[in-house]
Amino acid sequence: MDDCCSLCNTEGEYTTLIIECSFAVQCLQAEKNWLVWRVKTTELPQLLRWLSRAKVSRFQKHVYAAVVAGLVYCIWEARNRIIWQGDQASCIRLIEDLKWRIKT
């Protein structure tokens, strides 16, 4: 159970949670839809590389970077809730959480 991902129940991805976790990928996809962010990759390192090269305004870069950082935090938090409170992983709720966080 220890080296099993608590978000998507896949084995042996503990250390690469955000990058390989199917739940994280699903959330990232939802987030991209929300932002209407047309970038193909679902992998965080590539996303960050895209961000550093993208020909978008500084403001937009700032927003994207904040959302990505927020997402990573929300996923981490969701994982803790599952571990400590026996919560269920919910992509929709995570994105709602994230939107609320970004706006405030």
Q: Which residues of this chain interact with Zn ion, rule CB under 5 A?
A: 5, 7-8, 21
Least Å from the CB of residue 97 to Zn ion: 18
* Bridge partner list, 11: 4
φ/ψ bin of 12: left (φ > 0), alpha (ψ from -120 to 50), beta (otherwise): left
Neighbours of 33 (CB within 10 A): 10
Q: Which is nearer to Zn ion, 7 or 47 (CB)?
A: 7
Q: Which is nearer to Zn ion, 17 or 47 (CB)?
A: 17
Least Å from the CB of residue 85 to Zn ion: 18
Q: Which is nearer to Zn ion, 65 or 82 (CB)?
A: 82
Least Å from the CB of residue 96 to Zn ion: 20
Torsion of CA 96, 99, 102, 104, to 10 degrees: -80
